[in-house]
Amino acid sequence: MLDERKLSVLRAIVEDYVTTREPVGSKALAERHALGVSPATIRNDMALLEDEGYITQPHTSAGRVPTDTGYRLFVDRLATIKPLSAAERRAIGTFLEGAVDLDDIVLRTVRLLAQVTGQVAVVQYPSLTRSQVRHVEIVSMSPRRLMVVVISTTGRVEQRVLDVAVALDDETVADLRNRINEAVDGKMLSEMPDAAASVAASMPAEARPAVAAILATMVESLARDGEERVVLSGTANLALFGTDFPGSIQPVLEALEEHVVLLRLLGEATAPSQVSVRIGRELPVEGLSSTSMISATYGATGVGHLGVIGPTRMDYPGTIGAVRAVAQYVGRVVEESS
């Protein structure tokens, strides 16, 4: 069905269209690429590629434009990822090394990614549930109010203030703190519920109900919200591609404000430690139907996700390379700093 040459034609179309932003015709193709055949032949191939749904004509008597499926084929089989230059890698490295804490790492990463790719960058904070617990601190602020601080190995610090029904004296609190730390140290945060249960069981009988209640609130509160955070940068880049979006960039901006949606999208990305590419309507979000998302996990344990969002007509090889490189560096930096 699709012989070697037709694939070359598709590749050429995608490449030209991405750079010129204009529908590409048979003649221009024959000139700019050494395909070794005449425009007429290319025309025949193009007609076929169109039948198969890989390219389309905006209107009769215009050149061809890749469809979502066309890009998909291009990404899967035709593109060779552009690795970054040594200089670029070095620049990334030194830029990220300079970070002083986790917030700083994330902020620098997202800006870097937006700048390198020229797209909108999205970086998720290291997921708490996939992090290990380094330390849990429990402090009683007033008789019925506790503050719980959980520090993960990725440097995330989450704190909650809990109002509890039963007053606990300082000794019990200190005891509780020790037992919890012993139980959870080094464990994944997702194992907290189990650990909490066993801690409660180990407490002296008379304190048990109160402690159980506290632990339940604590676990629930940590799981409930604030768990996942995401940071954006480079939305201004969207305006540069204004013409790439049918109508307006408004729906895109709207979608980007829904952090919950972004997190879901990042999470859905398939293989860990692999760059995931989703193109146009493959993204199950209305407002993003004419954008593509290129994302990856970072950190050895796939503790976080990052990615970029841009028009479907983007430089896939370059962007994929950049996302992959940045993910690698960030992973390293996050782990080092832990």
Partner DNA sequence: ATTGGCACTCGATACCGCTGAGTGCCAATC
Partner DNA sequence: GATTGGCACTCAGCGGTATCGAGTGCCAAT
Which positions lie near DNA, rule CB under 7 A? 5, 22-28, 36-41, 43-44, 46-47, 50, 57, 59-64
302: left (phi over 0), alpha (psi -120 to 50) or beta: left
Q: Which does 37 bind (CB under 5 to 8 A by kind): a copy of itself, DNA, none?
A: DNA
In the range 124-143, which residues lie near a copy of itself by CB under 8 A?
135, 137, 139, 141
Contact, 148 vs 136, CB < 8 A?
A: yes
In the range 155-214, which residues lie near a copy of itself by CB under 8 A?
157, 159, 161
Q: Which does 249 bind (CB under 5 to 8 A by kind): DNA, a copy of itself, none?
A: a copy of itself
Q: Which stretch binds a copy of itself (CB under 8 A): 23-31, 208-216, 233-241, 296-304?
A: 233-241
Q: Should residue 38 be labelled a site residue for a copy of itself when binding is judged by CB under 8 A?
A: no
In the range 41-80, which residues lie near a copy of itself by CB under 8 A?
none
Which DSSP symbol is given to 243?
G
Report how far residue 336's alpha carbon sits from residue 338's, in angstroms, rounded to the nearest whole number.
5
Q: Which does 46 bind (CB under 5 to 8 A by kind): DNA, a copy of itself, none?
A: DNA
Cα four-point dihedral sign 57, 58, 63, 69:
negative
Minimum CB separation of residue 100 from DNA in Å reads 51
Q: Residue 245's CB: how many other CB atoms inside 10 A? A: 18
Q: Which stretch binds a copy of itself (CB under 8 A): 28-36, 89-97, 227-235, 260-268?
A: 227-235
| Smaller CB separation from DNA, 40 or 165 | 40
Minimum CB separation of residue 57 from DNA in Å reads 6
Identity of the amino acid at 114: A
Scored b (16 or more CB within 10 A) or e, 251-283 reads bbeebbeeeebbbebbeebeeeeebbbbbbebb
Q: Which does 204 bind (CB under 5 to 8 A by kind): a copy of itself, DNA, none?
A: none
Which DSSP symbol is given to 119?
S
Identity of the amino acid at 253: L
In the range 256-275, which residues lie near a copy of itself by CB under 8 A?
256-257
The torsion angle over the Cα atoms of residues 76, 82, 88 and 92, rounded to 10 degrees, is 10
Minimum CB separation of residue 36 from DNA in Å reads 7
3-class secondary structure, 161: strand
The residue count of the chain comes to: 338
Q: Which does 63 bind (CB under 5 to 8 A by kind): a copy of itself, DNA, none?
A: DNA
Q: Should residue 249 be labelled a site residue for a copy of itself when binding is judged by CB under 8 A?
A: yes
| Smaller CB separation from DNA, 35 or 285 | 35
The torsion angle over the Cα atoms of residues 163, 165, 171 and 176, rounded to 10 degrees, is -70
Q: Which does 229 bind (CB under 5 to 8 A by kind): DNA, a copy of itself, none?
A: none
Minimum CB separation of residue 176 from a copy of itself in Å reads 14
Q: Which of 29, 81, 55, 99 is nearest to 330 (CA)?
A: 99
Q: Which does 271 bind (CB under 5 to 8 A by kind): a copy of itself, DNA, none?
A: none
Among 23, 70, 118, 251, the residue binding a copy of itself under the rule CB under 8 A is 251
Contact, 255 vs 287, CB < 8 A?
A: yes
Identity of the amino acid at 103: D
| Smaller CB separation from DNA, 40 or 141 | 40
| Smaller CB separation from DNA, 60 or 94 | 60
Find all residues with CB under 8 Å of 338, minimum gap 6, and list them: 134, 153, 154, 155
